[in-house]
Structure 1
Amino acid sequence: MEIGKPTRLTDKKSIVQKIIGEFRNALITRTLKPGDKLPTEIELSRRFFVSRNAVREAIKMLVALGVVEIKRGNGTYVAKGISTQIIDPLIFSLLLEGGVPDELLELREMLEIGILEIVLKKVTKKDINKMEKAIQLLEEDCKKGETDREILRKHDLEFHYAFAGATHNPLIIKIAKTIWEMFKASIEKAVYSRPEDTVERHKMILKAIKEKNLEKAKEAIYLSLEKWGRDLHTYT
């Protein structure tokens, strides 16, 4: 498996962009396939003439996007359920502009707080019912000790989709779904680690929406994103 040719880069963001770009190209050309094992950090750092820290930063982003997965003690592999968003030109350009986990966190903060402000103006009883149903599904998962990550993520995203749907703006809904899908791997990890916390935060958000309380809703969203942001800085 080949991932690019040795190229000397000096700017940290350019380094991360280069590495992610090579992964994207390898996926498009099918020289990199689901299940393939990646070179080690040392090998990649030599290939790109960069530090291991720079390689680690790029891998963090690829893990967050669901492109690669870390198997402790066994190495890093291309994920079997790769998000097609990595190949989308618009999303890929956003990733290259973002470059580091903190900026990805800011992207989600901007998106979800922006959605919230519109939701408070346009939310309907039907929207509230959809969000309540999504919370109920995740709450039932907690009660029965659900351990299937995909199910937990699906039920968590149903709340987010209902939340975005309450804007009644198809453009916002499409962009929101695309960004959440882009981060599905890291969202899944955050929900799996403590699903009961996710339920409580969703309840806080919904309660504030019902009360039309912008500040309380913002606080709940920031709490939710804080946990996700911490996970974004780790491999698994």
Structure 2
Amino acid sequence: MTETAESKQSAVDPFRQVERATISDTIVAQIRELVTNGTLKPGDRLPSERDLCKRFAVGRTSVREALKPLITMGLLEGRIGSGTYVAAETGQFRKPLEWGLLGDLSGQDDLVEARHMLETNAAYWAALRAEPDNLTAIETTVQGMAESLRQPEHFQEFDANFHFEIARATQNKILFRLINVIRGQIQTWIGERLTLSSDRTEALAEISLNQHREVLAAIISGDGDAARDAMDRHIQTATRDLRGIAK
């Protein structure tokens, strides 16, 4: 007797009924979205459990159940006596890239090339899509760079935020996350190179500031091609100067 498809299905049914999302699942999705779109940035402190309960209109159990998997994934980190923060790094999803780059010269070359591919096009799309608040945020980072020419650590922080804000201005969440992933390694590489020649730090910062202003001007004018070209010049110049220090 031939076994029918129906009898097979009744024996072991591979299909399961769709379950409704729990309250904690919904909270997880919201927090992940806030991190993904940049509303919550690396290092940001989340509201307290009590405040989250009020904002989500749920009990503490639901909030705690939502935070646990986010911490496990590495998206958030809990600090005893301080609270819950967005991880400074993007957790497990970022680690493989970092491990592949650390101490690997060819990996650094790939990193710089990937940066060029992503950030030149980010500048192009930012020029076409930036909203007024995006332009304000980018301008603020350039102003911060100008005010911290003699403070390398602060200058690099504003520099990194400049590129983050341009990525955000593209209105493309995937591009923003990709640039977020590689930017940490870029900043580490820049910092390492600059420590080898502290006497040139201010001069290089002035060159970088002027080139950032050119990128900003092109984005404000809405000229995508000019923005991409300005970013290309900046990355090429910065890469050449930093590699020159390393020699």
Which interval holds the TM-score relative to the shorter structure?
Answer: 0.5 to 0.7
Correspondence 1:168 to 2:171: yes
How far is 1:98 from its partner?
8.4
**Kindly tell me: are residues 126 and 172 of structure 1, through their superposed partners in 2, closer, same or farther at Cα, counting changes over 3 Å?**
same
Partner deviation per Cα, 1:120-154 (whole Å, 9 max, x = no partner): 33211110000111100111113xxx23x321211
1:100 CA drift (Å): 5.3
1:125 paired to 2:136: no
CA distance in 1: counterparts of 2:184 and 2:115, whole angstroms: 12
Count of matched residue pairs: 150
**Distance (Å, rounded) in 2 between the aligned partners of 1:168 and 1:215:** 18
Letter paired with 1:155:
F
Instruction: State the 1:84 CA deviation.
Output: 9.0
Tell me: CA distance 1:110–1:141, structure 2 relative to 1, closer, same or farther (3 Å): same
Is the contact made by 1:187 and 1:228 (CA closer than 8 Å) also made in structure 2? no
Q: Which has the higher contact order (CA 8 A, sep 6+)?
A: 1
Once the two structures are superposed, residues 78-100 of structure 1 have per-residue CA deviations (whole angstroms, 9 ceiling, x without a partner) of xxxxx899981144457799825
Q: For 2:243, which of 227, 232, 236 is the aligned residue?
A: 232
Cα offset for 1:196?
1.5
What stretches of structure 1 of length at least 5 have no aligned partner?
1-82
Q: Which amino acid aligns with 1:184?
A: Q
For residue 227 of structure 1, report the CA deviation from its aligned partner.
2.7
Structure of larger gyration radius: 2
CA RMSD of superposed structures (Å): 3.2
Q: CA deviation at 1:171?
A: 2.5
Give the partner amino acid of 1:221.
M
Corresponding position: 1:105 with 2:108 = no
Letter aligned with residue 116 of structure 1:
A
Q: Does the CA-based 8 Å contact 1:118-1:167 persist in structure 2? A: yes
Per the alignment, residue 44 of structure 1 pairs with none
CA contact (8 A) 1:186 1:228 kept: no
Aligned-pair CA distance for 1:159: 0.9
Extract unaligned runs of 5+ from structure 2.
Answer: 1-88, 195-199
Shift of the alpha carbon at 1:214?
2.5
2:116 maps to a residue whose letter is E
Counterpart in the other structure of 1:192: 201
Q: Does 1:181 align with 2:191?
A: no
Identify which of 135, 153, 160 aligns with 2:142: 135
TM-aligned CA distance change 1:199 to 1:234, over 3 Å: closer
Contact (CA 8 Å) 2:142, 2:213: kept in 1 or not? yes
Looking at structure 1, the residues matched to 118 and 228 of structure 2 have their Cα atoms a distance apart, in angstroms, of 12
Q: Is the 8 A contact 2:126 2:224 kept in 1?
A: no
1:220 and 2:227 correspond: no
Q: Report the identity percentage.
A: 22
Q: Structure 1 stretches (4+) deviating beyond 4 angstroms?
A: 83-87, 93-98
After TM superposition, the score normalised by the length of structure 2 is 0.52
TM normalised by structure 1 equals 0.54
Q: What is the distance in 1 between the residues matched to 2:178 and 2:107?
A: 20
- Partners of 2:106 and 2:132 lie apart in 1 by 39
Matches within 5 A, 1:1-236: 88-93=95-100, 99=106, 101-142=108-149, 146-147=150-151, 149-188=152-191, 189=193, 192-193=201-202, 194-230=204-240, 231-232=242-243, 234-235=245-246
